[in-house]
Amino acid sequence: MLHDLTALEQGDAVRRGEVSPLELVEHYAGRAGSIEVGAFITPTHELAREHARRLTTQLAEEGRPPDAGPLWGVPTGIKDLHPTAGVRTTFGSAAYDDFVPDASDDLVLTVEAAGMPSLGKTNTPEFGSPCYTEPDVAPPAVTPWDTSRTAGGSSGGAAAAVAAGLLPVAPGSDGGGSIRIPASCCGLVGLKPSRGRISGAPRYGDPVGLATAGTLARTVRDAAALLDVLAGRRVGDPYWAPEPSGTFLEACDRAPGRLRVARFIAPVIADVDVHPASVAAWDDASRLLESLGHDVEDVPVPIPRDAVADFETCWAVLTALSPAPPGREDRLRPLTRWLGGLGHAVSGPDFGLAIGRLRQHAAAALAALASYDVVLTPTLASPPVQVGALRDDADPARDFADQKAFTPWTSAWNVTGMPAVSLPLHWTDDGLPVGVMLAARPAEEELLLSVAAQVETAAPWADRRPPGW
């Protein structure tokens, strides 16, 4: 079946004339009801068909464009945080359940220009804030490995779609783990690139610099190929990563050499007992890296616990920067109203001081880790939890605390701006995926992808299929 192929294999089949972009779109549109995982808020099958027809006609009459990348003609989806012209864009919120933008943001335009038809707006929680995907505008996003359990968040719909074979590859976004969390829950590769690697144009909605777009895929090479599509600087960007030496896909074929690997397992942002499966995944990954010739060393947690308060101040203010349209405030989720209220209570000077302290914490962490090539931690404190286990509308403070306990490592690398990837190296005895996380120095995605690809070759996972595949 076409969905058994990796995204790169599908793109290569298009290049060779074995399948057309329209046939790929029709295949995935036909699979849309094959398994219910809460992947999409708004399907856009007809728009995808129109785009794919244009590509198919172009292929027949002119051939592939000379600048076409390896994913040209491969379908994808767009997270519903990205405004898309003429398509309902809810931001995961009932307050925007009928909003249709006039213009698309740069990520949408970039994906379209790369020849990747979008089959729909993928599911996300309200304004992308929680680490679970249970919005009021769509059913919960669930992992196809056990549909009673969360797909994670906030890129839960994108991860559920890729893991269930409803999309070959998909972009996500990550401000505190929102790509890597669902990657772990869904058994995928989830790559958060360095700060500035992917432009935030034209909205530049995160003045703190925590959030970035990134990629969700079944293989490291697919994730790298989509990063090649998304990466790039725009005029007006407040910061940017230096140009890579080649493509990120090419980096997957380079041997990383012998690396110094720092590892720690103590939770960064919460006092929580780490699940034995997460410990086992981390230990197994350590041994695998050592077997590949790398030096693995235990290190202290590089970010102090007092950084958590500064992160929470910034997170609350960022939530307050996403208001409901006038008269629709009552449609916001209790968690959003609670966090937004905390954000509105922060003064301008206090916000500035919190940003400054976060940057000081980041600088200290980068200095402490400077002699290491990569850092290894678990991705999550446990396998994916039951839908509703984290959400608590009656007590948003408990909801937020439980989210931190589930995700005690991911946000550290948003603070430092380091690239980080979750790899699906472990499964529980009852078939639940458990990710491990590798991070590299800022702007060193090429090294990170090189070692991730080496790990994947040594312990491949792409042939694993969830129920309903």
Residue 276 contacts by C-beta under 8 Å, 6 or more apart in sequence?
Answer: none
Examine the residue annotation and report whether 178 is marked as an active-site residue of this protein: yes
**Residue 212, token pair as written in the block:** 């970035």
What is the rounded distance in angstroms from the CA atom of residue 412 to the CA atom of residue 192?
12
- Cα torsion 275, 150, 84, 35 to 10°: value is 130
3-state secondary structure of 378: strand
3-state secondary structure of 434: strand
Q: 433-440 and 40-43: which strand pairing? A: unpaired
Residue 389 contacts by C-beta under 8 Å, 6 or more apart in sequence?
Answer: 150, 402
CB contact burial 410-436 (16+ within 10 A = b; e otherwise) = bbbbbbbbbbbbbbbbbbbeeebbbbb
Instruction: Give helix 220-230 / helix 106-113 axis angle, nearest 10°.
Output: 110
For residue 308, the number of C-alpha atoms closer than 13 Å in the C-beta half-sphere is: 16
Model confidence, pTM: 0.98
Omega before residue 154 within 30° of 0, cis: yes
**Residue 387, token pair as written in the block:** 């839908």
Q: Which of 129, 154, 411, 450 is catalytic?
A: 154
Closest CA to 256 of 437, 419, 452: 452
Report the pLDDT value the prediction gives residue 33, as an integer from 0 to 100.
86
If one counts every other C-beta atom within 10 angstroms of the C-beta of residue 305, the result is 12
Omega before residue 202 within 30° of 0, cis: yes
Distances (CA, A) of 307 to 24, 65, 128, 183, 364: 46, 48, 22, 25, 11
What is the rounded distance in angstroms from the CA atom of residue 21 to the CA atom of residue 57?
10
Q: Which of 79, 121, 192, 404 is catalytic?
A: 79
Q: Which of 118, 173, 178, 286 is catalytic?
A: 178
Report the pLDDT value the prediction gives residue 53, as an integer from 0 to 100.
98
**Residue pair 278/434 in contact by the 8 Å Cβ criterion:** yes
Report the pLDDT value the prediction gives residue 34, as an integer from 0 to 100.
87
**Residue pair 173/167 in contact by the 8 Å Cβ criterion:** no
What is the rounded distance in angstroms from the CA atom of residue 335 to the CA atom of residue 319?
10
Examine the residue annotation and report whether 154 is marked as an active-site residue of this protein: yes
In the predicted model, residues of the chain with pLDDT beneath 50 are none
